[in-house]
């Protein structure tokens, strides 16, 4: 691994900017949670539960764009710009439809959405204030992530990262100003957090699109190229990306169902999970960077006919991410009490949060391997039907069942329930390993034959 300069340089060139961007996204969540944490547990829970609606939408968008990246990575392997534009059109259409649907739910029916998680009227009231505003950012986010995905798969990863750095600074200033009522502005609480996020999303999309078209990057799709879409390609696209979208939808609904079970244990339990989940996202960014970079590398190599190299890259990245996560998990376990002390929460909530964070730290390596199997290896290889089964079905059979058993039957504390739910990741890892060994996950999706010159684009 360490002698292969091309692999390491590619992983660094693609993965580090993606990891940095994920760090910035995680920082948005961490920042909101920390600031809300100064306003009490109800505010933390309200924003946490409201973000579960956005979480389902975010994973649906991820399913659409991740499915699109399977094609765009392979098309970029043979430098087929028209193919990339066809993928962009389909991705944008799906993201806009999903964005409009979730905007309607968040803006017009926020109380109904929140009642799935809690019956606390104060939490529902605060959460509804947040959702009515943040809902307008959903459509913007879907379009933004489509452009970001195309930029990543064509190796233009620095631009969205740079924009996110600026956006984080703006978000910090707006949140501080609007949540706490600084610099002469009124104190808006959860509404201030929502307004700050909405303004930042508008800034991110408008800036990114403007630069993409001014620089005429591969993601600068035109309306005219929409005419290049043929039904034969649409069917292939839907056949491959459909399972990814269904997978992410099923998985997100399972996660949000598990979260609703957590929420009904106690307010302290859901507050602890909200804090722990934000911390987990913050420490998981490097793994996400490796997984996405691996997916792009494997997609490029398979698209260029280099399947043997794709297998080598897959092995390296899965175990590299596991090794890094063992180290990060150790840091999380030690730092958990210090991290939780930042929040203005009760002693009971603090105890729960520390225990959940420490369990997350112990299992980080297992989650890291799974993310790389699914996002970095199997999906980029076009094996989306298998990932639908292993990732979308097992979480319901094992994860949701364990949550219900631990919370409602055994009446266990939140940290033991969380540990029971995490057992499904071990099962998934075993199944993914056997699937990888079978090599049935490798599927070439590009339409163009690979010429010797194009083969040289992917180094051996």
Among the listed residues 308, 309, 430, 417, the one whose alpha carbon sits nearest the alpha carbon of residue 369: 430
Residue span of the structural domain in which 263 resides: 5-445
* Whole-prediction pTM: 0.70
For the record, the structure tokens of 192 come out as 């201030």
User: Does residue 203 sit within a domain?
Assistant: yes
Is 451 within a domain?
no
Band the pLDDT of 212: cuts 50, 70, 90.
very high
82 part of a folded domain = yes
How many domains would you assign to the chain?
1
How does residue 446 score in pLDDT terms, banded at 50, 70 and 90?
Answer: low
- Whether 268 is covered by a domain: the verdict is yes
Residue 84 to residue 257: CA distance in whole angstroms: 36
CB under 8 Å to 136, separation ≥6 — which residues? 103, 107, 198
- Assigned domain for 453 exists: no
Q: Scan for tokens 């969540």, then name that residue.
A: 29
Q: Is the pLDDT of residue 452 over 80?
A: no
| Token pair listed for 239 | 């056949």
Answer yes or no: is 452 within a domain.
no
Quote the CA–CA distance of 288 and 294 in Å, as a whole number.
10
Instruction: Name the pLDDT band for 207 (thresholds 50, 70, 90).
Output: very high
Is 459 inside a domain boundary?
Answer: no
Place of tokens 């403007």: 210
Q: State pLDDT tens for residues 148-170.
A: 988 888 878 788 888 888 888 88
Check residue 132 and report its DSSP letter.
H
Residue 284 lies in a domain: yes
């Amino acid at each position: 691994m360490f002698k292969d300069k091309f692999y390491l340089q590619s992983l660094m060139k693609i993965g580090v900017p993606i990891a940095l961007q994920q760090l910035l996204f995680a920082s948005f969540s961490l920042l909101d949670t920390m600031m809300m944490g100064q306003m009490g547990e109800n505010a933390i829970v309200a924003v946490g539960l409201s973000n579960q609606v956005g979480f389902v939408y975010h994973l649906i968008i991820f399913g659409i764009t991740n499915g699109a990246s399977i094609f765009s990575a392979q098309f970029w392997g043979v430098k087929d710009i028209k193919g990339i534009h066809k993928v962009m059109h389909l991705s944008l259409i799906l993201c806009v439809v999903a964005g409009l649907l979730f905007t309607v739910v968040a803006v017009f029916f926020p109380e109904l959405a929140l009642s799935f998680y809690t019956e606390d009227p104060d939490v529902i009231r605060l959460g509804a204030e947040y959702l009515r505003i943040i809902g307008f950012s959903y459509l913007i986010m879907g379009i933004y992530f489509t452009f970001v995905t195309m930029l990543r798969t064509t190796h233009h990863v620095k631009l969205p990262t740079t924009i996110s750095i600026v956006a984080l600074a703006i978000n910090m200033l707006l949140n501080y100003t609007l949540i706490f009522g600084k610099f002469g502005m009124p104190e808006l609480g959860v509404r201030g957090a929502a307004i700050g996020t909405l303004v930042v999303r508008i800034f991110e999309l408008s800036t990114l699109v403007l630069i993409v078209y001014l620089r005429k990057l591969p993601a600068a799709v035109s309306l005219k190229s929409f005419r290049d879409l043929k039904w034969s390609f649409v069917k292939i696209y839907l056949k491959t990306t459909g399972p990814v979208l269904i997978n992410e939808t099923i998985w997100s609904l399972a996660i949000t169902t598990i979260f609703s079970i957590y929420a009904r244990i106690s307010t302290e339990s859901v507050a602890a999970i909200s804090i722990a989940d934000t911390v987990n996202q913050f420490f998981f960014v490097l793994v996400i960077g490796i997984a996405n970079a691996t997916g792009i590398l494997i997609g490029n190599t398979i698209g260029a006919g280099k399947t043997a190299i794709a297998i080598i890259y897959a092995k390296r990245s899965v175990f590299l991410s596991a090794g890094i996560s063992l180290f990060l998990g150790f840091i999380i376990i030690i730092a958990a009490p210090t991290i939780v002390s930042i929040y203005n929460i009760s002693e009971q909530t603090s105890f729960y949060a520390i225990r959940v964070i420490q369990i997350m730290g112990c299992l980080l390596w297992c989650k890291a391997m799974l993310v790389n199997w699914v996002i970095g290896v199997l999906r980029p290889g076009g094996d989306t039907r298998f990932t639908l089964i292993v990732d979308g079905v097992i979480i319901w059979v094992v994860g949701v069942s364990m949550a219900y058993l631990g919370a409602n039957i055994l009446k266990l504390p939140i940290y033991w329930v969380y540990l029971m739910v995490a057992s499904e990741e071990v099962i998934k890892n075993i199944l993914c390993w056997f699937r990888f060994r079978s090599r049935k996950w490798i599927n070439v999706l590009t339409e163009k034959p690979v010429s010797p010159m194009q083969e040289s684009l992917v180094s051996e």
